[in-house]
Amino acid sequence: MLRDQRGRYLRSLRGAMRPHYTPKLKKRTALMRELKEVFRRHRSQPIERVISLINPMLRGWVNYFAVGHSSECFSFVKDWVEKKVRRHLAHARKRKGFGWERWSRPWLYDTLKLFGGYRVRRDMPKVARHDRSHKPRQEANGSAQCGKSARCVRRGGGWKRGTAE
């Protein structure tokens, strides 16, 4: 990998060299240490309370690292948290294992409301310019009101370009 003047790693993204941001292993370990402490302190508590404590921590951490190349790290954290929740549920019912067949993923995220917004934000699309004239919106943007594309209407065509109706 290439480096820039500041020592950041660069990668090619759509023909341009961009910084390669990933959460450092130290930061991921610190998050997991905090989560492990919450699970340990609330071992005898209901899972709903534990989830209400860890969800804000996860949401804040994911939002902070959501820009860049974090999907591998996010999937690792998501799987780890899911395993800890499953283990907590099994321990509360005095069962061994993780309950892979007992509790499905949708049940964990929909019923228990476990945080599941591990999304990486990409570059936001540029805002389209608006015509500042006082014409109605369809006329100002040159679009057709009949459902055809504006190009066909401007050329005087029907549903195929250049054909008259």
User: Chain-centre distance of CA 153, in angstroms?
Assistant: 39
CA distances from residue 118 to 77, 105, 121 in whole angstroms, order as listed: 9, 14, 10
DSSP 9: E
At 84 the pLDDT is 96
pTM of the model: 0.64
Amino acid code (one letter) for 122: R
CA distance 71 to 38: 24
Along the chain (165 residues), what's the average pLDDT of each consecutive run of 10 residues?
62 67 87 96 95 95 82 92 96 92 92 89 54 54 57 56 54
At 93 the pLDDT is 92
Per domain, the residue ranges of the chain are: 2-111, 139-165
Q: Which residues of 26-47 are buried (b: 16+ CB within 10 A; e: fewer)?
A: eebeebeeebeebbeeeeeeeb
At 126 the pLDDT is 47
At 117 the pLDDT is 86
